[in-house]
């Protein structure tokens, strides 16, 4: 759906983005991660043509973006930024209606859409419709920003550190809501963040950038299992990497069939994460758990020894003994 081929961006002489190639499939959630100044925002702004690229090509559905009508492009792409960019003298409703008004939708259609979006983003209509940005908390303003970006039902959503300025609790909540929203709406999302945990939580495609270049890209699990270099590894959290990886897979993907031995006393549903399984082993002082289905019927076993062997063979290290 979105394709960047050997794209670069030069500001004067400095290369902000240096020869990056990237494909974002339709309906997937791509996170650009990297430390400040590595070119994430510049990459995003080139995709919606806020700034022109210097080299290479950017395609949307196979078409070079410079050939697309800017109005149509604006309708297809929703854009959310950290400072929300809400107009301070406009009500919540008017802010959300920005793009539909530009597109000259009929008034009733706009009103209905605003109401629908406020419900979708958890903003009670009567309470918020007439409020102004200064009357909103950071989290509420960010919801309005997301509602506005979704207003004309774009198929692409570009988000630039949308939750970066929020307190940790509000951030967690909005991350979860965004994940739920995405499971329902299947937008093609490019999400910029410097927070690897946020990226791991949300993305199905991770792109790590450094000094204008892409250092590594792939699924979160692939990067966690095989970070390309110490930089990627440190972004992924070094020592915590094992637990983060375990947080992304399910117990049932690691279980073995029930053996002849006495079943383990502790039981864990197969849909729980491996991280929860490891936590249960520590809590219950055991190396084995019985895995159960939704009706609490045993379907397999989770064994710590086997998990360690599995991770050894993944890394290609020889097994001891
Ligand atoms: N409009 C601009 N003019 C000149 N330099 C810029 C401009 N925008 C960004 N840069 C430079 O490009 C580099 C990448 O910036 P940016 O994409 O904003 O990084 P990030 O979003 O990853 O923090 C930085 O060195 C920044 O100073
Ligand atoms: Mg930025």
Q: What is the DSSP string of 258-279?
A: --SSPPPS-EEETTSBHHHHHH
121 pLDDT band, cuts 50/70/90, is confident
Mean pLDDT (whole number) for 122-148: 92
316 pLDDT band, cuts 50/70/90, is low
Which residues have a Cβ under 8 Å from the Cβ of 183 and sit 6 or more positions away?
Answer: none
Which 8-state DSSP code applies to residue 177?
Answer: H
Mean pLDDT (whole number) for 148-160: 92
Q: What share of the chain in percent tops pLDDT 70?
A: 98
Ligand 1 center to 14 CA (angstroms) = 10
**Is there an atom of ligand 1 within 6 Å of 11 CB?**
yes
Residue minimizing CA distance to atom 2 of ligand 1: 11
**Strand order across the beta sheet in which 298-303 lies:** 267-269, 288-292, 298-303
Residue ranges and CATH numbers for the domains of the chain are 2-244 (3.40.50.300), 249-315 (3.10.580.10)
319 pLDDT band, cuts 50/70/90, is very low
**Is there an atom of ligand 1 within 6 Å of 87 CB?**
no
Average pLDDT over all residues of the chain: 91
**Is there an atom of ligand 1 within 6 Å of 8 CB?**
no
Q: Do 22 and 217 touch, CB atoms closer than 8 A?
A: yes
Which 8-state DSSP code applies to residue 68?
Answer: S
pLDDT tens digit sequence for 57-116 = 999 999 999 998 877 887 889 999 887 789 999 999 999 999 899 889 999 999 999 999
The whole-angstrom separation of Cα 59 and Cα 5 is 8
Tell me what pLDDT residue 317 has: 47
- Backbone torsions φ then ψ of 54, nearest 5 degrees: -90, -35
Distance from chain centroid for Cα 306:
31
Write the CA distances from 88 to 83, 85, 115, 230, integer angstroms.
Answer: 12, 9, 20, 44
Closest Cα to residue 209, out of 55, 34, 68?
34
Which atom of ligand 1 has the smallest separation from the CA of 192?
21
Which stretches within 168-318 are classed as H helix? 168-185, 196-202, 220-225, 230-235, 241-246, 274-284, 304-315
**Is there an atom of ligand 1 within 6 Å of 38 CB?**
yes
C-beta atoms surrounding 138 within 10 Å: 16
Residue minimizing CA distance to atom 26 of ligand 1: 37
166 pLDDT band, cuts 50/70/90, is confident
Tell me what pLDDT residue 11 has: 95
Q: Is the pLDDT of residue 277 over 70?
A: yes
pLDDT tens digit sequence for 23-32 = 999 999 999 9
- Backbone torsions φ then ψ of 157, nearest 5 degrees: -125, 120
Tell me what pLDDT residue 263 has: 82
Residues around ion ligand 2, judged by CB within 5 A, are 41
238's torsion region: left (phi>0), alpha (psi -120 to 50) or beta?
left
């Amino acid at each position: 759906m979105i394709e960047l081929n050997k794209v670069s961006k030069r500001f004067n002489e400095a290369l902000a983005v240096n020869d990056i190639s990237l494909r974002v499939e339709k309906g997937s959630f791509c996170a650009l991660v990297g430390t400040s100044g590595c070119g994430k925002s510049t990459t995003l702004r080139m995709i919606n043509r806020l700034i022109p690229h210097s080299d290479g090509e950017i395609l949307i559905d196979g078409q070079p973006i410079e050939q697309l009508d800017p109005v149509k492009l604006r309708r297809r792409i929703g854009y959310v930024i950290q400072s929300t960019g809400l107009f301070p003298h406009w009500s919540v409703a008017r802010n959300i209606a920005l793009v539909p008004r530009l597109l000259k939708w009929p008034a009733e259609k706009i009103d209905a859409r605003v109401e629908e979006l406020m419900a979708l983003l958890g903003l009670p209509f009567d309470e918020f419709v007439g409020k102004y940005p200064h009357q909103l908390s950071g989290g509420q303003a960010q919801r309005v920003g997301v509602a506005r970006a979704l207003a004309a039902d774009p198929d692409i959503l570009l988000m630039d550190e949308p939750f970066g300025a929020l307190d940790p609790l509000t951030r967690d909540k909005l991350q979860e809501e965004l994940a739920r929203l995405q499971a329902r709406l299947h937008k093609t999302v490019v999400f910029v963040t410097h927070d690897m945990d946020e990226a791991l939580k949300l993305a199905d495609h991770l792109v790590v950038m450094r000094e204008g270049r892409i250092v590594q890209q792939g699924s979160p699990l692939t990067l966690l299992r095989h970070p390309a270099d110490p930089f990627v590894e440190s972004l992924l959290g070094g020592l915590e990497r094992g637990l983060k990886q375990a947080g992304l897979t399910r117990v049932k993907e690691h279980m073995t069939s029930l053996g002849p031995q006495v079943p383990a006393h502790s039981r864990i549903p197969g849909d729980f994460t491996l991280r929860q399984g490891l936590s249960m082993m520590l809590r219950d002082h055991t190396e084995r758990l019985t895995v159960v289905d939704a009706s609490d019927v045993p379907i397999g076993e989770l064994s710590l020894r086997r998990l360690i062997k599995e991770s050894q063979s993944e890394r290609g290290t020889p097994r001891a003994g």
